[in-house]
């Protein structure tokens, strides 16, 4: 039987993977993937809890997050393409024009 705990653990594991990606990866595209993973880990958690307590607002929130994430990725990828055209690289360390 798959219980809420399983869902939450899976969500936690996914979030950690995403976070690790955010910290470790230098490729901007990979960074986007990692953030998507983190967002969807949270979505998973929302949906599971919503089903468990029988309240639909969690699932509604998940849809919102998907929509927002999609638009964010659209803008982000657009910028990324521009950046690549200018610099011929999407390495994170090249995005460094302000240094204290």
Partner 1 sequence: MEKYVYLTLFAPLAGSLFAAMFGMSKKNLITGIVTSALLFVSLFSSLMLLGYVDEEHIVKVNLFDWISAGNFDVSFGFIADQVSVIMMVTVTTVSALVHVYSIGYMDHDEGFNRFFSYLSAFVFSMLVLVMSDNFLGLFIGWEGVGLCSWLLIGFWYYKKDLPREIYPAISPSWAANEAFIMNRIADLGMLIGLFLIYWNVGSLNYDVVFKNIPNVDISIVVLIGIFLFIGAMGKSAQFPLHTWLADAMEGPTPVSALIHAATMVTAGVYLVVRANEVFSLIPNVGMFIASLGAFVAVFAATMALVNNDLKKIIAYSTLSQLGYMFVAAGLGAYWVALFHLMTHAFFKSLLFLGAGNVMHAMNDELNIKKMGGLYSKMKWTAILMIIASLALAGIYPFAGFFSKDKILEVAFSEHAYILWFMLWIGAGLTAFYSFRLIMLVFFGEERYKRFGFHPHEAYAFMLWAMAPLGVLAVISGFFEHSFKEYVTAILPDYEAHIEPHIVGYVLIALTLTMALSGILFAVYKYSRGGFSKKWEETWIYKLLFNQYYIPQLYEKFITKPYAELSKIAWKDIDLKIVDSTVDFIATTLYDAGDKSRVIQSGNLSKMLRWMAIGLIVLLIAAII
Applying CB under 8 A, the residues found at the interface with partner 1 are 19, 22-23, 25-26, 92-93, 95-100
Shortest approach of partner 1 to residue 84 CB, angstroms? Answer: 16
The residue among 33 and 51 lying less far from partner 1, judged by its C-beta, is 33
Question: Six-digit token pair at 57?
Answer: 């607002």
* Dist. CA 77–CA 9, nearest whole Å: 30
Nearer to partner 1 by Cβ, of 51 and 73: the residue is 73
Shortest spacing between CB 9 and partner 1, in angstroms:
17
Sign of CA dihedral 70, 74, 80, 81: positive
**Contact of 79 with 15, CB cutoff 8 Å:** no
């Amino acid at each position: 039987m798959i219980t809420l705990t399983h869902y939450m653990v899976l969500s936690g594991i996914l979030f950690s993977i995403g976070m690790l990606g955010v910290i470790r990866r230098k490729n901007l595209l990979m960074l986007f993937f990692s953030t998507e993973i983190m967002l969807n880990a949270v979505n998973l958690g929302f949906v599971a809890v919503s089903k468990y307590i029988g309240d639909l607002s969690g699932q509604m929130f998940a849809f919102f997050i998907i929509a927002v994430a999609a638009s964010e990725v659209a803008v982000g990828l657009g910028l990324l393409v521009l950046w690549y055209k200018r610099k011929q690289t999407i390495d994170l360390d090249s995005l460094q024009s302000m240094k204290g």
